[in-house]
């Protein structure tokens, strides 16, 4: 099973990804973790990423895709399947992912979109920021992040909807209830 997990910041993607990985024995692929691992392993792409990050720049989509290709080509990802968490973040990345998967003779089986309204997101992230002592996550900052999500990432769901693989899941209620909705949508309940 190959899954893309979508949703606004604070929708519970990380929590649900961890549960899905455990339940279905999938490989959890987070682009941020992959970049750090490639840098730590000193791979050629990791060296390139390190150089970019040391200059304080954003790693290009092409470089992220190269590192993603390295990971998706590994036997465990090919055999077990994977869950992509945090990628794709925009339509360009979604199109690049589609081309990569075609090259690897794979496809996304499910794109799970956790739907949570903006006020609930603000409440969750403000609460988490207070718990973790993060002053940078105030309501204005959170709403700006949500605006960026709506402009750049939300349209990605439409692409997966056109392919007939989008599962819209209400991301409210208990963690267990949300997880059960996802499992049911995946046809594995």
> pLDDT of 95-124, one tens digit each?
999 999 999 999 999 999 999 999 999 998
pLDDT at 53 over 90: no
- Concerning whether 50 is annotated as a catalytic residue, the answer is no
Q: What average pLDDT does the segment 52-78 reach? A: 85
Q: Single out the residue of 145, 148, 154 nearest to residue 126, CA to CA.
A: 145
Alpha helices in the chain (DSSP H): 13-24, 31-41, 44-54, 61-72, 75-80, 91-103, 118-132, 139-148, 154-162, 175-185
Average pLDDT, the chain: 90
Please state, in angstroms and rounded to a whole number, the distance separating the CA atoms of residues 58 and 156: 20
Catalytic annotation, pick one of 23, 92, 103, 128? 128
52 against 25, higher pLDDT: 25
Please state, in angstroms and rounded to a whole number, the distance separating the CA atoms of residues 152 and 95: 13
Predicted pLDDT at 127: 86
Beta-sheet pairing, 110-115 with 27-30: unpaired
CATH of the domain at 151: 3.40.50.300
> pLDDT of 143-177, one tens digit each?
888 998 999 899 999 999 999 999 999 999 999 99
To the nearest whole percent, how much of the chain has pLDDT over 70? 98
Residues of the domain holding 173:
2-185
Q: How many structural domains are present in the chain?
A: 1
Catalytic annotation, pick one of 19, 36, 71, 89? 89
């Amino acid at each position: 099973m190959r899954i893309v997990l979508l949703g606004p910041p604070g929708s519970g993607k990380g929590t649900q990804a961890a549960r899905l990985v455990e339940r279905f024995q999938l490989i959890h692929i987070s682009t941020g973790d992959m970049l750090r691992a490639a840098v730590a392993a000193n791979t050629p792409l990791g060296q390139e990423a390190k150089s970019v990050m040391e200059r304080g720049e954003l790693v290009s989509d092409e470089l992220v895709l190269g590192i993603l290709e390295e990971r998706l080509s590994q036997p465990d990802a090919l055999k077990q399947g994977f869950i992509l968490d945090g990628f794709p973040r925009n339509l360009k990345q979604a199109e690049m992912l589609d081309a990569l998967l075609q090259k690897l003779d794979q496809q996304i089986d499910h794109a799970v979109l956790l739907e949570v309204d903006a006020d609930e997101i603000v409440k969750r992230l403000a609460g988490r920021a207070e718990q973790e002592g993060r002053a940078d996550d105030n309501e204005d900052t959170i709403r700006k992040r949500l605006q960026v999500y709506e402009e750049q990432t939300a349209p990605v769901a439409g692409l997966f909807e056109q392919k007939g693989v989008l599962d819209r899941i209400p991301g409210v209620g208990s963690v267990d209830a949300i997880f059960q909705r996802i499992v049911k949508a995946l046809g594995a309940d």
